[in-house]
Structure 1
């Protein structure tokens, strides 16, 4: 039996399969981080089943069907920044712990939290009805194994 994908935008495969979106700040070995990851499986299956992806689910993988939303969402806690890849002219809705905290043009590809990122938080970046989650952790003090005398 052959699977049949729904017609329309949901049947278009994400270009991450053949056109990687490489994060310039951390491309990985041989640009590995530019390709789709296993985290995309759940959101892809849910979208294939015809379900709307909801921000409160905090899925951290980009679905491989339909609209792409932002790609390669990540945080730099020390700089209180969220980064993503996107060339969309749309607006990214940024949720922090289930509250909307900002609306940012997607093409800017970053947002700085004016309150900092001093504690663990769950962020969701939503673009074109596609939410992608990023969990931040507090910036820790350096771990000192032994002190110099």
Structure 2
């Protein structure tokens, strides 16, 4: 059972549209600029908001539907702000072979949300990743920017305790 955080209607952030326009303007000369621009917006601002889609579309002379389609097609792009801490559980074959499926099930119950969702209290966003390149130390979990290997449910509890 998962709970999804239902956010109120997004409120435009003062200056956000201008910053998105600047990022898009700086990168629009790249070949295939749309995806690098979206990644840069998310990297700096945490997510790609619906209002950002229209700004990027305007700068690149694309339709809003084209940009929206890319944002919603690729799982890498967040459309809402993530929780304070992001916890990603590897679901690649090597990690699955040593308990990642069970660890993921445990993480979903423990955090109270599914992959791609944020806990009701806004503290943790739970994600799945398909390989950190830490295969010899599976199952691998990344908490924030720190990668951990051989994570058990008990160790995940300790890592989550530190994140809260």
Q: Same fold (TM over 0.5)?
A: no
- TM-score, structure 2 as length reference: 0.25
Answer 1 or 2: which has greater strand percent. 1
Relative to its length, the structure with more helix (as a share) is 2
